[in-house]
Structures are given as C-alpha cells and as structure tokens.
Structure 1
C-alpha cells in the first residue's frame, strides 16, 4: 500500500537489476500494484508474499501466506534476483529477522529494495520534540488488536539502524534515496540547519573520540542522518546487494547477533 512517489523511486531500482526470465518477490504484496508495475514490459516470474491474500487485486497473481514476524519465507535459498519490501517493516515486531530471511532467498548478486517512513525529517523530529511521537507513529490503541495493515505502524525504524540490520544480515553496497522532499520542512531547515551542523558536529566528534562508536564502516551512515535527504525526505528508500559468493545467512545471522551483543556491551562499558 505504497504511494505514487514511492513507486516512482522503487521501480527503476528493481528494473535495473531484474534479468529477463528472472524471479522477483514482493514481500508485503498488498493489492499487487507494485507487482503489476514491475511486470509491465518485463518477462519473468513474479511472486507475492503477505500475511493474507485478501488484499490482492492483480488477476492470476498467487500470494504465499506467511506471518512475516515468525515464519520463514516459503521459498528455497538463493531463489530470487530481486526482492522488494515497501512500507512493511514498520508494521513488524522483528524486522531484522525478516531481513535475514530476505538475504537467504536472494541469489548472490541479487538486491533488496526497502521503504519505510523517514522519522528523521525535520517535521518528524519537531513533532517528537513537542509531542514525543514521530510522524506516522502516534499513540496506539490499547483496546484493539493491531493488524499488519495501514493502521499498524508499531516500529519506527531509524535509518541508521536499518542500515546496520542490513549489514548484519550480510548485505553490502547499501544505497539511500527518498521518495520526495517535504516542502513543509523547508522553513524549519532555514532555521535549524546551522544549529544542526554545529551541535551535530560536536556530538559526532564526541562519539568518535570519547566513546569510539564511529568507525570507517559505519561513518557514512552516521553522517547521512543529518544530510539533506533525511532532513527533508518523506520516505526512506534503501537498496542493498547480496554479495557474490555469500552464504545463506542463517549461520551468518546468529554469528552477527553475537558480535553485535559483544559490541553493544563494549560501547556501554565505555559510556560508564
């Protein structure tokens, strides 16, 4: 259930990496609109996966049903040339597990294209400052069961943590863009850009020199947090590649988790 701007940003990335006769998977396929657009003018096999098939409106398109929080994706390893997952991870309890599954089902050299609301734009940051809630992640009802549809934004995902999760799953060559810039953030940018540069720079140097949390491999993603695309963009569009010669990711995922836990403990000790 994406927007026109998201489709325009995602489609070129997918089409440029889908060979004729290849296989493409849309995770959280919804009505099938992205599948329909990818299939136009492309000869290959398309697959949809979602927690229900009731949304699908594309004739002849099968939907493989899976609980994206708990179930493995119902496909063999190294099966797809490209996977999309647009406006999905913010609906999940455990998006990192899903990213590891996407890594597993991608062939080496294949790509994943993700989108999620950008909670780091200035409009969202100011809302969090005044109200304590990011844009599109307001107070949830305590009396209704959350469904994984458009009313179920339960996990605000910071760009840096999404990039970290992709790297931890085994992906490389991460790229970032946005669907469009928010005009409503331009006035805030004029007022706040200089303070962000000054105080953000001070915080960056503190993290780098005192806490030693910034290293060459994560520095570009830390810097991106206060760059113009994320200060003004409405939706994060991120793509990443499964490296040639990569393993499935099942073993890599558990090893990465152990390394992450060790690194977190080390960083916490430094802060104390």
Structure 2
C-alpha cells in the first residue's frame, strides 16, 4: 500500500499515517459505539492500535488484545490467543467489543462469539467487520473458480493457521451464529463500495426474485429449513433484506452491530440500517 493512499492524522499530539480505507471503516465503527463516554471498550487483535488510540484520546477506557504483544505506547495491551478454549480479561465486562477484520482468521467463529458474549455487559455492543464474500463481483468469481473474493485460491500450507482467511463466511452464516450465541443484530452495512461494483446491480431484479423465492417461499422437506412459523419467516425476511441491500451486493466488507441480549427470551429486535451511497 503506497503512501498516496495514506493520510496523516493526529492522536494525542502524535502524527500517524492512516490508510484512507481504514479511516472510512473506523468512521462507521465509531458511529456504532455506545453513546456514553467514557465506555469500557475491548478491541481484539488490534495490531498497532490506531483505532484504540483514537478512542482512548476521545475519553474511552480502552483495552486491546494481540496474539503477539506489540507494546503499543499508552494502551493497556493483553497477549491473547482468541482460539483458546476459555479465557478471562481484566476490566470485563465491557460496554463494547470491536473485532475488526479478525473473525475470518479464527478457527471457530461460534466459540469466539460465545467468548465475546461472556466478556460483554448485558446490552453491550459487539461490532464485527469481515470481508464480504457475497458481493456480486465475488459471486461471479466463485461461479468461475470455486473461490471467493477475499480467498482467491488455496491457502499455502506452510503459513501458520489463521494468518490467512480460514473462515471466510457469508452474512447468513454470521447471522445464524450471532443469534445462536445470544446476540440481537441491530445494523448491517459496508464501509467500501466502488462505483464499478454498483454496475453489478443490473442483476438485482433477478436476484430479488430468486432470493425471495428460496428464502421465504420454497418448501423443504427438512425441519432445519422450515418456514412455517411467524418468527422464522420474520428472521428469514430480515436475512433476505440484508442480502438484497446495496452494501451486501456491492460492498467489499460487512460491518455488523449486534447487542448482547439483556435476558434470555427477551423479544428480539431486528432493524436494518444501511448507509446511503448514492
């Protein structure tokens, strides 16, 4: 990545180079965070911790984790393998957890989400970002090659497990995992949509017909795909609306805001929030 794609930002008196793509993504994340300041925030696998430094400078109480500690000055950093069977983090529970381009590198997505649920306060916010394998450009690439944008070919076996995208999953799978591990999905969007990707929207009418039929109408003789109950049809309709949104059809990434259920059996809120890219 060349310097032409980076701009200089100032954090607590220090000048730091930041990629314009990261500025856009972090801007969306900041809007999803709890309104109260200070909030107790955990950012997992935060790397150099640029976003964490920004949040801390704005008054939040921030903790970061990394698989190998980087020694970020001014941040409370914990060495942590997110694949561990169980772990505790001091300062928990947190008001918010940010997992930014991390979940696709994790060996077990459901296990990691259960740990995030454990570390969040009831009603706390989880923000997940991950590559969007279901954008139309990626779907066409998959049709031709069997691979997706974000995982364009087999992973080299000599690389350490998790260094590449070993869990490149689509929105429907992540929706299922989040709800099964005790989260309510509040917002779904993307931070990067190129004009060239919007050209693929010419296929949206056909995609709308096929998606609506298979998600809401098609009958399966398998209990796991039953669409008879009102609750299941409501959940399926939400997934259908997300899949047909411009961010998911055209965006390079997916950003999800989810909240930890306050109590088991509480009514589930489903609201689709999409940024206007027109």
TM-score interval, normalised by the smaller of the two chains: 0.7 to 0.9
Q: Mean Cα displacement is larger for which, 101-110 or 135-144?
A: 135-144
1:50 aligns with 66
Mapping for residues 215-226 of structure 1, pairs under 5 Å: 215-226=233-244
For residues 145-180 of structure 1, give each alpha carbon's deviation from its aligned partner in whole angstroms, at most 9, with x where no partner exists.
Answer: 23544xx11111211111111111111243211113
Superposed, 1:1-272 pairs within 5 Å as 3-14=22-33, 17=34, 19-42=36-59, 44-54=60-70, 58-75=72-89, 79-149=93-163, 152-190=164-202, 192-207=203-218, 211-213=225-227, 214-245=232-263
TM-score (ref. length: structure 2): 0.77
Q: 1:37 to 1:204 in 2, by over 3 A?
A: same
Please give the alpha-carbon distance, in whole angstroms, between the structure 2 residues aligned to 1:142 and 1:117. 19
> Once the 2 structures are TM-superposed, how far is the Cα of residue 71 of structure 1 from its aligned partner?
4.1
Cα 1:212–1:148, aligned 2, differ >3 Å: closer, same or farther? closer
Could you report, residue by residue, the CA deviation over 1:54-109 in whole angstroms, capped at 9, with x for unpaired residues? 3x5x4122321121112434326951111100100111110111111111111112
Query: SS of the residue aligned with 1:108?
Result: strand
Consecutive unaligned residues of structure 2, counting only runs of 5 or more, are 1-18, 266-278
Task: Provide the aligned length of Structure 1 versus Structure 2.
Answer: 239
Q: CA RMSD in A?
A: 2.5
Per-residue deviation, 1:243 = 2.7
| Conserved? CA contact 2:136–2:200, under 8 Å | yes
Q: Alpha-carbon deviation of 1:241? A: 0.9
Residue 118 of structure 1, CA deviation = 0.8
Question: Closer, same or farther in 2 for the Cα pair 1:176/1:205, shift >3 Å?
Answer: closer
- The change in CA–CA distance for 1:142 and 1:104 in structure 2 (over 3 A counts) is same
The TM-score, its normalising length taken from structure 1, stands at 0.79
Q: Which has the higher helix share?
A: 1
